[in-house]
């Protein structure tokens, strides 16, 4: 079975062998520098990053620090630490000061995520949109309000830029037009790869080169650092809606930006001033989620690859989108009514969000991308018949049985042409 992209905006073509390789070929071979300075394989780092000091403290699991404030009897020293933070945004030395400045439990997650993404630092926020907003505010504070962006993006990211809610101005372009779209006041280039919801991919190294000195921000929510690490390809900023795969269980709302320490300092200052902090319990859940991230992504990707094989051979399906790097996200367009498919699932949950251990399906044109202008939405490849499937860890046979029933009967004229509708 061969899949082919119908145009340059589609997810790339892969055959069944390629999909297997995408799902299994990255089994932790990449090495990540550890706190001790030696390289540990990715799966090992996912388990141990942010926890290296626990055994020496007589602990096995990270403590959850719920304090909002911390005592200090040396107000002169406190003043010096606050002055230092106000100057650079560096995390204060010594004991914590106040929860809006930082939290020990959240800091463990930030340390771990930075290790996995291969960056100096990471700064966590109350949501992915809070994280993106902080990046825009940092650049705007320097007089750099112009953003160059490539569609499609997550619908709320698109809306935040298009509406200029934070005083930004956006120029939409395709990847080849990034360099020409830059202006003296351009503060950021924003891309998402694989993109939400079409799974279109961008050559990140080429995009970073086109940016010149302007930071490239890559939304890496769909891929996770298991499948790609944008910083290694030249991205200066890596954004995650940590609500999704990093948490992985549908029970935490969070965002995080992985970056160098200088930019992290500015992000901490914005977080302190605006209050978009991550709750300590969420930080704990995210650190726990990272420990199983490689295993979850591998298993869900294997399920997704098998569903892609079956969907692309199904006469009820017009087109399947699946990225070269693999992963657990699928987008597919149906010949029939996509709303009937949503209404017909029983095992799969019809809901927004993604990256959980259970499988979710949604209709982007009605929900996640409804806020995007209809012409812009369709121009970015988000058709009215497109469905987005976040594949979970259920048995693939049960998932297929549910999808098969929800897709309903194929019209007779299509049954005779099974295999023609591959995308």
Active-site positions read 100, 154, 219, 244
The angle subtended at Cα 316 by Cα 312 and Cα 321, nearest 5°, is 35
Among 388, 412, 325, 404, CA closest to 154: 388
Q: Which residues contact 2 (CB under 8 A, 6 or more apart)?
A: 13, 15, 422
CB-CB neighbours of 100 under 10 Å:
16
- Residue 369, preceding bond cis, omega within 30 degrees? no
| Dihedral angle, C-alpha 308, 310, 316, 320, nearest 10 ° | 20
Distance CA(253)–CA(314), nearest Å, equals 36
Q: How far is CA 223 from CA 205, 321, 413, 416, in A?
A: 16, 15, 38, 36
Among 267, 245, 259, CA closest to 131: 267
Q: Do the Cβ atoms of 121 and 268 come closer than 8 Å? A: no
Buried residues in 178-206 as b, exposed as e (16+ CB within 10 A) = beebbeeebbbbbbbbbbbbbbbbbebee
The angle subtended at Cα 411 by Cα 408 and Cα 413, nearest 5°, is 155
């Amino acid at each position: 079975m061969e899949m082919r992209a119908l145009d340059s905006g589609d997810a790339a073509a892969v055959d069944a062998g390629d999909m297997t390789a995408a799902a299994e070929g990255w089994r932790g071979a990449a090495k990540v520098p550890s706190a001790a300075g030696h390289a540990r394989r990715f799966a090992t780092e996912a388990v141990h990053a942010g926890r290296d000091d626990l055994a020496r403290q007589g602990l096995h699991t990270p403590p959850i620090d719920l304090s909002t404030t911390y005592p200090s009897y040396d107000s002169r020293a406190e003043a010096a630490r606050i002055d230092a933070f106000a100057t650079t945004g560096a995390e204060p030395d010594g004991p914590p000061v106040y929860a809006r400045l930082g939290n020990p439990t959240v800091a463990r997650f930030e340390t771990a995520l930075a290790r996995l993404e291969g960056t100096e630092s990471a700064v966590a926020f109350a949501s992915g949109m809070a994280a993106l907003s902080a990046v825009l505010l940092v650049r705007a504070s320097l007089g750099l309000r112009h953003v160059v962006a490539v569609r499609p993006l997550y619908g709320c990211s698109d809306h935040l830029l298009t509406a200029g809610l934070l005083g930004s101005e956006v120029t939409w372009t395709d990847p080849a037009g990034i360099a020409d779209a830059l202006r003296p006041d351009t503060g950021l280039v924003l891309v998402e790869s694989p993109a939400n919801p079409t799974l279109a991919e961008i050559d990140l190294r080429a995009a970073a080169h086109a940016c010149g000195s302007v930071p490239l921000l890559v939304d890496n929510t769909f891929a996770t650092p298991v499948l790609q690490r944008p910083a290694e390809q030249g991205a200066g900023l890596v954004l995650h809606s940590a609500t999704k795969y990093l948490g992985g269980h549908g029970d935490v709302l969070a965002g995080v930006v992985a970056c160098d320490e200088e930019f992290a300092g500015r992000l901490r200052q914005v977080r302190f001033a605006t209050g978009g902090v991550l709750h300590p319990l969420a930080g704990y859940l995210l650190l726990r989620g990272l420990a199983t991230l490689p295993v979850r992504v591998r298993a869900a990707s294997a399920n997704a690859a098998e569903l892609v094989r079956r969907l692309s051979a199904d006469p009820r399906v017009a087109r399947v989108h699946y990225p070269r790097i693999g992963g657990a996200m699928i987008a597919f367009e149906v010949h029939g009514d996509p709303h009937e498919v949503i209404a017909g699932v029983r095992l799969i949950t019809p809901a927004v969000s993604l990256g959980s251990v259970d499988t979710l399906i949604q209709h982007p044109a009605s929900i996640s991308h409804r806020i995007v202008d209809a012409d812009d939405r369709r121009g970015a490849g988000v058709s009215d018949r497109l469905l987005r499937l976040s594949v979970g860890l259920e048995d693939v046979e049960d998932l297929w049985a549910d999808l098969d029933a929800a897709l309903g009967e194929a019209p007779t004229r299509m049954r005779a042409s099974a295999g023609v509708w591959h995308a």
